[in-house]
């Protein structure tokens, strides 16, 4: 409600000159108070390890699975399709190397287009054979 008839209402204005002066003072203050020292790197002293090297590389069984679901154990093709027969082949590969009492590392190298079921068969065969150390091989920097 406008009780003052006849008087025009003035819109409030921000005094820009005073505002710019305050911003310049703040800018000068920040420029003076900022330190421009460079931190090239952290100067740290790394601890030294007195541990011996690993005694020997663990015994490995390499299982290759191709796109058609065929298996090769240590670069020797085997004609099996079920996990039980594959477990027997894994055990035979361990005994053939003379390290039947050592728990080997089963390395699964499956082709990118191999079915999931063929890879699961290898995992099941390793479980049946009693091998608990299973890992997968991968190629670095794959093409897209």
User: Which range marks the domain in which residue 123 is found?
Assistant: 60-136
Q: What is the spatial distance between Cα 111 and Cα 139, in angstroms, rounded to a whole number?
A: 10
pLDDT of residue 85: 93
Grade residue 113 by pLDDT with cuts at 50, 70 and 90.
Answer: confident
Asked, for residue 80, whether it belongs to a domain, the answer is yes
Question: Which of the pair, 14 or 49, is modelled with greater confidence?
Answer: 14
Asked, for residue 23, whether it belongs to a domain, the answer is no
pLDDT of residue 10: 75
CA dihedral defined by 131, 133, 134, 139, rounded to 10 degrees? -140
CA quadruple 24, 30, 31, 32: dihedral sign: positive
- The CATH number linked to 81 is 3.30.420.270
Question: Which of the pair, 55 or 46, is modelled with greater confidence?
Answer: 55
Asked, for residue 53, whether it belongs to a domain, the answer is no
Q: Using one digit for the tens of pLDDT, what is the confidence trace for 116-131? A: 999 999 999 999 999 9
Asked, for residue 92, whether it belongs to a domain, the answer is yes
Residue 100 CB partners (closer than 8 Å, separation 6+)? 91, 94
* Token duo for residue 8: 């025009």
Asked, for residue 144, whether it belongs to a domain, the answer is no
Asked, for residue 11, whether it belongs to a domain, the answer is no
pLDDT of residue 41: 55
Average pLDDT of the segment spanning 59-85: 90
Range of weakest confidence among 35-44, 69-78, 96-105: 35-44
Asked, for residue 75, whether it belongs to a domain, the answer is yes
Asked, for residue 103, whether it belongs to a domain, the answer is yes
Q: Give the chain's domain count.
A: 1
Closest CA to 111 of 82, 78, 141, 136: 136
Average pLDDT of the segment spanning 47-64: 77
Query: Given a cut of 60, is residue 103 above it in pLDDT?
Result: yes
* CA distance to 52, 88, 107, 118, 124, per residue, from 56 (Å): 11, 26, 17, 31, 28
Q: What is the mean pLDDT of the chain?
A: 82
């Amino acid at each position: 409600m406008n009780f003052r008839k006849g008087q025009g209402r003035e819109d409030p204005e921000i005094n820009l000159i005073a505002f710019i002066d305050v911003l310049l003072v703040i800018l000068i203050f920040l420029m003076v108070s900022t330190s421009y020292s460079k931190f090239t790197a952290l100067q740290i002293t790394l601890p030294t390890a007195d541990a011996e090297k690993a005694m020997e590389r663990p015994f490995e069984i390499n299982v290759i699975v191709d796109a058609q679901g065929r298996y090769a154990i240590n670069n020797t093709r085997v004609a099996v399709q079920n996990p039980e027969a594959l477990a027997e082949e894994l055990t035979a590969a361990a005994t053939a190397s003379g390290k039947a009492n050592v728990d080997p590392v089963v390395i699964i190298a499956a082709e990118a287009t191999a079915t999931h079921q063929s890879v699961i068969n290898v995992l099941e065969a390793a479980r049946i054979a009693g091998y608990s150390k299973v890992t997968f091989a991968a190629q670095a920097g794959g093409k897209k």
